Chain A
């Protein structure tokens, strides 16, 4: 694990946070695809977040799980498998903005409804209750100044920390870059490792598996590999 030329010190340390959230019921619900479309046009971003990012965190282990709540509802409550397939294409972690994701949901629903004359409704009790999220960032006490410290801190990190820094942070960045990739590239010159992490398909594995992958890639680099 010692390879001195790699252990470049950062000017700014990487501070590890965990992303936690509380879910709120908005008191509003939808019972048809059309009413879902209307709701998506006007709801706050926190509602989009709750039905995509929060949903993934709750179902993180189940893979291959549905990628978002809207698709799951279309399949299991509305019984519209075609719509469920179309909505299921939207993978939240591939997006760097909630606005773009909302736009795509609206576009898919609009196109789907153009070809439909029926407005099927779910049975009572199967409505989609719109949720929103309150997000919390909490420091974990872990900090890294170089790649070895990064590896050690990541080892101690929870799925909630990995989720925030490897994926959700893309929503904050104008270029859609995660915290991890940005720091590795800009602070300690690890452009290649940063790119490898950016290339991970977050929907193909669980957060624990992703963590193991990033740890392995980092360890390989520490040992002098590419």
Chain B
């Protein structure tokens, strides 16, 4: 069975047909994706699936990366944080290291494809070379630009304006630009270890191995130990259920060894949960995809009480498992959680307590939210929809200035 075919029963036969029809229109075209890493991070995870699928569909697709010395990576890390709205100490030397490195990469990377798909700021300046080619350039921005540092955004804005189109994940991330800003949400892969169906035996094995009790319903948040995920607020919300809650709280986070701030937050979480036998704190290595999958499936309610979020795909991961989700109304989460239809949006610790209580008392409502949530993800946040949107995007750049395209 080819790769695309394996999604047919999960995503539905219709979208497979749509993808095949669109791909026929683009057959023989070439695509090059450029980002800064082939391992780690959401972009690499998506491209690892997307590139072979595009090739299978008849689009000759390559994946290239920009490479540089330490000064380049230091500069791009600062740019990334500044575009996310965090104060950074950025100097002329950073811009110089960036410009020179991208220029050097431009002579190494073959950009002579019909579509050049550039991901994030690291390779963005490659567009300075587009005059050499007669092709379409797309910039995919995975960053929330709504609080971007003016210094860095003013540097990137003219570059981004030279593209044919850009892609953002949420309307709140949009900027005033002279090019079309397409909204394409990221996606989850339903066949990955983190999201595939599990048998009851597989779920049970994980719970036994990790010694997670299941005598009461579990309310779970899976997130890094990061202040922006508000783990202390989640504990406070749970404690407000009263001294004898009919549930346990499980906070699952990544290992904090390589993240100094994460280690501090982890200690604070442990301190706050101390003495409460209904709260379980679990630190798992980043490769624990099967474990996360099983924990989400074995939980009664999933929390994602973020205070700030990019897109927050962990929400779609939980919804895909038909779980009722209570989540902070930030970043891309409201796209995934339509309040009281596909989950619950909250704005406070009190709201989180209120809805924990409501969903524990009303399992029918919780079940309906989970069912709706799964269908919402099936329609809007699976890899197949993402692939279809990229094909539509290619077709859009071939038909500029048209808001109705008949194929």
A→B interface (CB under 8 Å): 18, 20-27, 29, 44, 46, 58-62, 65, 72, 76, 125, 127, 129, 131-141, 157-161
In the complex, A29→B175 CA distance in Å? 11
Stretch in B104-112, B180-188, B190-198, B272-280 touching the partner: B180-188
Among A60, A62, A157, the one with the most B-chain Cβ atoms within 10 Å of its Cβ is: A62
Contacting A59 at CB < 8 Å: which of B172, B180, B338, B393? B338
Asked whether A136 lies within 8 Å of B407 as measured between CB atoms, the reply is: yes
**Closest Cβ–Cβ distance, residue B79 to chain A (whole Å):** 22
Nearest 10 CB-CB pairings of A with B: A158-B14, A129-B171, A25-B174, A61-B375, A62-B341, A25-B181, A23-B183, A25-B171, A27-B176, A137-B406
Q: Which residue of B lies closest to A49 (CB)?
A: B403
B389 within 8 A of A: yes
Is there contact, CB below 8 Å, between B174 and A129?
yes
Let me know if B403 and A60 touch, CB within 8 A: no
Q: Are A24 and B17 in contact (CB under 8 A)?
A: no
Instruction: Enumerate chain A residues within 8 angstroms of B15, measured Cβ to Cβ.
Output: 158
Assess whether A62 is in contact with B392, with CB atoms less than 8 Å apart. Answer: no
Contact A62 B175 (CB under 8 A): no
- Check if B376 sits within 8 Å of A62, measured CB to CB: yes
* A-B interface pairs (CB < 8 A), number: 106
Which of B22, B175, B388 makes the CB contact (< 8 A) with A27?
B175
Residues in A with CB closer than 8 Å to B395 are: 136
B227 in the interface, Cβ–Cβ < 8 Å? no
Select A61's contact among B22, B184, B372, beta carbons within 8 Å: B372
A133 to B405 Cα, complex, angstroms: 11
Choice from A61, A65, A135, A139 contacting B21 with Cβ under 8 Å: A139
Taking CB as reference atom, which chain B residue is nearest A50?
Answer: B183
Q: Tell me if A133 and B403 are in contact (CB < 8 A).
A: yes
Q: Which residues of B contact A (CB under 8 A)?
A: 12, 14-15, 17-18, 21-22, 146, 168, 171-177, 180-184, 330, 338-339, 341-342, 345, 372, 375-376, 379-380, 388-389, 392-393, 395-396, 402-407
CA distance A161 to B21 in the complex (A): 13
Bound-state CA distance A60–B341 (Å) is: 11
State the CA gap A131–B252 with chains docked (Å).
Answer: 37
CA distance A157 to B14 in the complex (A): 7
Shortest distance between the CB of A9 and any CB in chain B (Å): 26
**B12 surroundings in chain A (CB, below 8 A):** 158
Contact A25 B18, CB 8 Å, known A58-B379, A136-B395, A137-B406: no
Q: List 16 A-B contacts (CB under 8 A).
A: A20-B388, A21-B392, A22-B182, A27-B176, A44-B403, A65-B341, A72-B338, A129-B171, A129-B172, A132-B403, A134-B392, A136-B395, A138-B18, A141-B21, A157-B14, A160-B14
Interface of A is mostly: strand
Contact A158 B17 (CB under 8 A): yes
A contact residues around B182 at 8 Å (CB): 22-24
**Chain B hits for A29, CB < 8 A:** 171
Query: Given known contacts A76-B345, A138-B407, what 14 new A-B pairs fall within 8 Å (CB)?
Result: A20-B388, A24-B183, A59-B338, A125-B146, A129-B171, A129-B172, A131-B183, A136-B392, A136-B407, A137-B406, A137-B407, A139-B407, A141-B21, A158-B15
In Å, the complex CA distance between A141 and B14 comes to 12
Q: Contacts of B168 on A, CB cut-off 8 Å? A: 25
* Residues on the B chain within 8 Å of A46, using CB: 403
Q: Looking at the complex, which one of A23, A138, A159 makes contact with B22 (CB distance below 8 Å)?
A: A138
Task: State which of B146, B172, B393 has its C-beta within 8 Å of the C-beta of A22.
Answer: B393
Please name all residues of chain B whose beta carbon is closer than 8 Å to the beta carbon of A141 when the two chains form the complex.
17, 21
Q: Are B171 and A134 in contact (CB under 8 A)?
A: no
A58 touching B181 in the complex, CB below 8 Å, given contacts A136-B392, A137-B405, A158-B15: no
Residue of B nearest to A136 (CB): B405
Bound form: Cα–Cα A91–B256 in Å: 50
Interface pair A24/B342, CB less than 8 Å apart: no
B180 touching A125, Cβ below 8 Å: no
A134 to B389, CA, bound (A): 12
Select the residue from B12, B174, B177, B345 with max chain A CB neighbours within 10 A.
Answer: B174
Residues of B within 8 A of A76 (CB): 339, 345
Q: Which of A20, A134, A161 contacts B403 (CB 8 A)?
A: A134
* Chain B residues within 8 Å of A134, by CB: 392, 396, 402-405
Determine the distance from Cα of A100 to Cα of B125 in the docked complex, in whole angstroms: 45
Which residue in chain A gives the minimum CB-CB distance to B175?
Answer: A27
Asked if A65 and B403 sit within 8 Å, CB to CB, the answer is no
How many angstroms between the C-alpha atoms of A27 and B396 in the bound complex? 18
Give B47 Cβ to nearest chain A Cβ, in Å. Answer: 20
Complex-state Cα separation, A139 to B17, whole angstroms = 10
Question: Which residues of the partner chain A approach B380 to less than 8 Å between Cβ atoms?
Answer: 58
- A25 and B405 in contact, given A58-B380, A59-B338 (Cβ under 8 angstroms): no
Instruction: Write the chain B residue with the least CB distance to A133.
Output: B403
**Residue in chain A with minimal CB distance to B389:** A22
Set of chain B residues within 8 Å of A158, measured between Cβ atoms: 12, 14-15, 17-18
